[in-house]
Structure 1
Amino acid sequence: MPRQKDILTTGEVAKICNVAPRTVSKWFDSGQLQGYRIPGSKDRRIPLSSLIKFMKAHNIPLDGLQSGQTRVLIVDDDSEIVEVLEKVLAEQANYEVHTAHSGFAAGIACEKARPHVMLLNMHLSDLKGEEILKFVKSNPDLQLTKVVAMSGKLTDGQAQHLLQNGFDGYLKKPFHVRQVVEAIEDAVSLVY
């Protein structure tokens, strides 16, 4: 695990707290979050100790401090796909990866992991992808979670329909790992 930094950027603080960078800037500018500006620049820096104090005072879960990595939740009932994606995304892309094998387990995993991106199989045995999307989008704690649909049965028209109905991206199975990483990065860039 990489050594934790003592000084953080607003983008890093945003990832840790699972908020938008402009929210961190507002906290800083209002004096709620202590830090300093880089001389000759408008860039802000927040000492880790100030962030921890702020998070405790505002009951923000400290589990985001464990890593500034992008948190990815893979939801698929195909164990083989989950194992391969988990291994590759953790080792090669250095994401913090969590997994769930059902819609029910996905709900529990979302509450615990607060993922930045969810890779969601649209054809789970217990819940439809749309139901899980509705749960994520209606939960105030998961407002920044991006949901990428995965399916082997998607036509181009269906894929566009998913985007129009709230999904942040899609992957057609079978896919290459590079496509998965690009879909995650594209979804995360919608926020950060």
Structure 2
Amino acid sequence: MEKRSLTTGEIAKYCGVNFRTVIRWIKQGHLKAYQLPGRGDNRIEVQDFLNFLREHDMPVPEEFQERSRRVLIVEDDPLMAKNMQRILRRGGFETQIASDGFSAGTLVKTFSPAVMTLDMKMPRLGGLEVVKFVRSTEGLRDIKILVVSAMPQRDLEEALKAGANEALEKPFKNEDLLEKVSRLAGVTGPPGSRFAPPRQSLEKSP
């Protein structure tokens, strides 16, 4: 996807709101923007727009869903990793697999996923360290992290406190994995699905 900036009018059209609402989001710090010198018109980088949508659990418009459908599967069990890959690919996601924490650290930069599924018990670099690395690294912090693990509940809670977004216990149902990844990615169906209106909480903010 070509990197470019968007106007407040374009953002309003994508989100189904009035452009004044977009300006209010900018003024309130919800949406990152910059102003053109001498004119004062607001411009929003595409990546900042996508970050805004994910942070507020708003679906991503169809034309921006290329990255939103990328999922990095971090799993050291080959059979489990392939099974998760099969489930997600059937759901329309593009996937890559990292079999250890160090490989995950490389692939999050080169593959640029929207969501990462993460087993906590990993060789070389543990899942908790991966969460902390992603959350402390500029350019990676917007990646959604779904912990998928059979570890005790207290370990899952520790991962959530460190910055993971959600947790899914093993064994899991196929539909539960697909539903959680889809929600975190901000997509509501297979490629070609319609973009839903934004949540009313932002629309009605003072």
Measured against the shorter chain, the TM-score band is 0.5 to 0.7
Alignment of 1:41-190 (within 5 A): 67=66, 69-91=68-90, 93-155=91-153, 157-189=154-186
1:159 Cα offset (Å): 2.9
User: Which residue identity is paired with 2:111?
Assistant: A
Q: Which whole-Å CA distance do the structure 2 matches of 1:166 and 1:31 have between them? A: 29
TM-score, normalization by structure 2:
0.59
Instruction: Determine helix, strand or coil for the equivalent of 1:142.
Output: coil
Deviation string for 1:62-99 (max 9, x for gaps)? xxx793542110001100011111122112x1011111
2:6 counterpart residue number: none
Structure number with higher relative contact order (C-alpha < 8 Å, ≥ 6 residues apart): 2
User: Which residue identity is paired with 1:162?
Assistant: A
Q: Which whole-Å CA distance do the structure 2 matches of 1:84 and 1:23 have between them? A: 38
Question: Unaligned regions of 5+ residues in structure 2, if any?
Answer: 1-9, 16-29, 46-62, 187-198, 200-206
Instruction: Determine helix, strand or coil for the equivalent of 2:76.
Output: coil
User: Which residue identity is paired with 2:137?
Assistant: N
User: Which residue identity is paired with 2:174?
Assistant: V
1:22 Cα offset (Å): 3.5
TM-score, normalization by structure 1:
0.63
Q: How many residues align?
A: 143
Q: Which whole-Å CA distance do the structure 1 matches of 2:43 and 2:157 have between them? A: 43
User: Which residue identity is paired with 2:165?
Assistant: D
Q: CA RMSD in A?
A: 3.2
